[in-house]
Amino acid sequence: MVHSTRRSIALAASLLVVAGLPACSKEGPDKALSAFITAWGNHDLNDQAFMTPDGRSLAGTDAQRTLTGVEGDLEARHPKLTLKGKPVSKNDDASAVVTVAWPVADNVTWTYDTTVNLHRSKDKWKVVFNLKTINPDLETGDKLTVKSVSAQRADMLDGGGQPMVTTRPVITIGLVPRSITDIPATQKALTDALASVGTTIDLSDLPKRLASVKSDQFVEIITLRQEVFDKIAGKINSTVGTVTRKSTQSLAPSAQFARALLGNTGQVTKEIMDKNPGKYKIGDVVGLAGLQQRYDDQLRGTPGISVVVPKPEGVPDKVLFKTDPKAGTVIKTTLDVKLQQAAEAALNTDTRRSALVAIKVSTNQIVAVANGPGVAANNFALVGQVPPGSTFKTITALGVLENGSATVNTPVNCPKTLTVDGRTFKNSHNEELGNVPLHVDFAKSCNTAFASLAPKLGPDGLAKTAATVGIGVPWDLGAGVFTGKVSANGSAAEQAAAAFGQGTTLVSPVVLAGAAAAIARGQWKQPTLVSDPAPTKVAADGPAIQPASLDALRQMMREVVTSGTASQLKNLPGDLRGKTGTAEYDSNPAHTHSWFMGYRGDIAFCVFVENGGASTAAAVPIAGKFFQSIG
């Protein structure tokens, strides 16, 4: 009987090359075949009944054990199975071609055909199951392994289309425990060497780390840019136990260069892997912050994936499936490397949180997004939310000029104090100008004069005017941005406070730079930062500013520099125009932020220094350094 069964199965195998033979039983193999396909797709063969190629019964649990044993790295990924055509049967044997679509990585599927044989015994069809049912190239002892080859990470380009963030050489410094004879001496030598190039590192746990690994294991200490390592190469190489490894990383021109905006890359973390099951493997390099993180999928490209059966050393692996890596796609920004570096240099002497944003008026491109070195990883330049202080007198002035309720020469009284609805406002240093023209109030930054203008704007006039120059409306820069929240419909006291940039109004440096660009241009257009891929929800253009209002506002902003609160820059080459701001941010009048926004020629700008005090002491000098350096 066994010999007869074997002959029948052999006959079924010969039928694989024969097409179109009809089934001879009403029952046919279809039901058993369908049940098997469903069970395999569900990764549960336990309840099925099978046969071995030599005709013996095979329990579903044994078939499941065979399946699980060979799947290896693919055990958690279940294939989609599709019957290809109809099963071919003759007498008690049948066969069918099944297409297996096995996901081996995100967006990568290994697709192949396999033949499923069936045999009928006692009027019951069973699948003849072995390794070749799973895949025709499998053999006893095989186990599937998924390997990947990282794709070339793409560059980030500057506004001129040149590589800005690109592959640069790095050196990883490490230690081999068995070579170290004096751990404290090694700690000190490394700490001192790194400190000499401005890198602080805590090696207090070094003894514990060295004791926890094998004596010949590489213990990574730090990775440095090639040019930084070269400065201390002698010190590092002469330290007993140190080993260095060369590699590359996707890096900006310097460690500080726009780092809060651009972000950084590094090995994928457990948290990222947990949030994206199956997408990454340990050791993958991914974007961890900034644009590197936001556009990681585009920048990192598609790794090359292969499904192999590993072989002993010296014997090539059996490759069952392979895709080649595809390099990432570049991200294009509008940054100007020279202007970005100038902005960072202007901020680098202050450890307080600070920012400088510059916009090229003619093209509307953001050419610099700089954050001070103290907290450079925080992209305050784009996402900060703080009161604008007297910079917002620019918006109030625009509002009254546009609605015709005042001109540059309209007298607006500037008393020492002004009380509105029980709340008293005062000027810096208790200044009192008297009944002077609006342009003088603006140049000298009189709070009480601008508080008195609030009724001329009405409950929501300030917010509506601000919106015409892009404040408080949604932007799409291709990067995170806060575009402002402007006080509206508040009490009389709140409206008075908002008219000189206090109250509940909040802005970011970039939004004030955008407003300055609008005044320089005569119309607000949303600035651009990431140009490719292009943002899809760019804000609509604002209305053209009336020529008379524009001329008046520009005149007042020039007077701020020639004889007002920014007069320390009056000898700066070029036609600098702007508005200073000192913004209180809590109940203590001594706690103030420092602002300066405006434009010179084709560059609009905004400078912010947190808790910087008077604008003349912090923001204005920074703007001066910036423009002096760019010429």
Which residue has tokens 């590589």?
Answer: 163
Tell me how many degrees the CA angle 123-126-127 measures, rounded to the nearest 5: 155
Q: Which amino acid belongs to residue 162?
A: Q
Calpha distance 370→339 (Å, rounded): 10
Report pLDDT digits (tens) over 395-447. 999 999 999 999 999 999 999 999 999 999 999 888 999 999 999 999 999 99
Q: What is the dihedral of CA 218, 224, 227, 232, to 10 degrees?
A: -70
How high is the pLDDT of residue 21? 37
Over residues 275-334, the pLDDT tens digits come to 988 788 888 899 999 999 999 999 999 889 999 999 998 999 999 999 999 999 999 999
Are residues 118 and 126 in contact, defined by beta-carbon separation less than 8 angstroms?
yes
Sign of CA dihedral 88, 89, 95, 98: positive
Average pLDDT of the segment spanning 92-110: 94
| Residue 47: Cβ-neighbour burial (10 angstroms; 0-12, 13-18, 19+) | exposed
3-state secondary structure 341-356: HHHHHHHCCCCCCEEE
pLDDT in the model for residue 25: 40
516 pLDDT more than 80: yes
What is the token pair recorded at 375? 């907290």
Beta strands 156-157 and 331-333 are parallel
Decide if pLDDT at 453 tops 80.
yes
User: What local confidence, expressed as pLDDT, does residue 105 receive?
Assistant: 87
Please return the burial class of 247, using the count of CB atoms within 10 Å of its CB with bins 0-12, 13-18 and 19+: exposed
Query: Which tokens go with 263?
Result: 């972000």
Report which of 385, 416, 357 is spatially closest to residue 505, judged by C-alpha positions.
385
- pLDDT reported for residue 616: 87
CA distances, 152 to each of 310, 519, 562 (Å)? 25, 43, 53
H-helix segments, 302-427: 337-347, 380-383, 393-402
Domains and CATH numbers, the chain: 2-143 (3.10.450.100), 156-331 (3.90.1310), 337-630 (3.40.710.10)
Q: Helix 393-402 crosses helix 461-468 at what angle (to 10 degrees)?
A: 100
Beta-carbon contacts of 297 under 8 Å, excluding residues fewer than 6 positions away, are: none
Distance CA 540, CA 526 (A): 7
* Pair 356, 368: CB distance under 8 Å: yes
Q: What pLDDT does residue 376 have?
A: 55
The total of other beta-carbon atoms located within 10 Å of residue 282's CB is 8
